[in-house]
Amino acid sequence: ADLSLRDDSNNRRVYCTDGASGSVALYYGDSSSGSKLDTTNTGVNVTGTVKSDALDIDGAVDIDTGSAEFNVNTGNGDFVVTTGTGDITFKSTDNSHSFALVAENDQNGNNTSAPDFCIRKTKVQKDSGGSTVTAYDMGDIRFESRADNGDNIGYARIKGSVVEQAATNTASDGDAKLDFMVMNGASTSAVSRLSVDKNGIEVTGNVSADGLTVDGSTTFNTGATANGVLIDGTGGGTGLQIRTSE
């Protein structure tokens, strides 16, 4: 037989159904509004809000918010997601959706800070002997698309790397480089076209600009290029002009 526990006002508090597959339901307040927690063959079903001091989940997590907002409020703490060898992926079935980092205004309406997007290694990379590796990747921002066969095609990348790391491993010891890479039609991977390091920039390919101002000495290394340095004024321009301040 089923078991029902009621209070003095005849409101149901606990209801247990009979049988090997019977469930247990817990109620709050006026029981006519329905149960708040029900046991099932796979766990529990909660109607309403769950509030706890901590949450430890051992297994897969599926959060279906419907059309509602999924809001994680950490107060003054950090929101940390830790994985083993797996990836962290945010998916949307609507391509118009975006991934945004937003710095909210304070209670007086003042925007006191701006959000940061940080790719960070927790430690400087070392080899199997414990020595600091002098050159290693720091991470990529990739722009990919899915091919018909299911493979991901990397059309563009922004890659950060350390090109020289001293063994003392302090903030001023490392020299870094940032590469802007795009797909080369003759290759299956993105290649660097613009590199930025402590000395400036290096371009692999052609540079097209509306103007050029150089403040300092200039060296043209044309290698084996047939035309050397060509200044073309045939388009109605003035060709080459050399000016002094006097």
Q: How confident is the model at residue 93 (pLDDT cuts 50, 70, 90)?
A: confident
DSSP code per residue over 141-158: EEEEEE-TTSPEEEEEEE
> Percentage of residues in the chain with pLDDT exceeding 90?
17
Q: How far apart are CA 34 and CA 25, in angstroms?
A: 9
pLDDT at 229 over 80: no
**Whether residue 53 has pLDDT greater than 90:** no
**CA-based radius of gyration for the chain:** 31
d(CA 103, CA 20): 52
User: pLDDT of 115-172, one tens digit each?
Assistant: 778 887 766 666 677 676 667 788 888 888 878 888 877 888 899 988 776 655 555 5
Contact 61, 70 (CB under 8 A): no
Which of 27-36, 103-112, 129-138, 216-225 has the highest average model confidence (pLDDT)? 27-36
Distances (CA, A) of 243 to 227, 229, 246: 24, 19, 9
For residue 192, give the nearest of 159, 145, 223 by alpha carbon: 159
Distance CA 158, CA 139 (A): 9
Measured between alpha carbons, how far is 71 from 74 in angstroms, rounded to an integer? 10
20 Cβ contact partners less than 8 Å away, ≥ 6 residues apart = none
The position carrying tokens 């080459």 is: 240
Identify the band that residue 238 occupies on the pLDDT scale cut at 50, 70 and 90: low
DSSP the chain: --EEEE-TT--EEEEE--STT--EEE--SSGGG--SEEE-SSSEEE-S----S-----S------TTS------TTS------SSS------S-TT----------TTS------------SS--B-TTSPBPSSEEEEEEEEEEE-TTSPEEEEEEEEEEEEEE-TT--TTTEEEEEEEEEE-TTSSSEEEEEEEETTEEEESS----S-----S------TT-TT-S----TTSS---------
Residue 54: count of CB within 10 angstroms of its CB = 4
Tell me how far apart the 2 most distant CA atoms of the chain are, in Å: 108
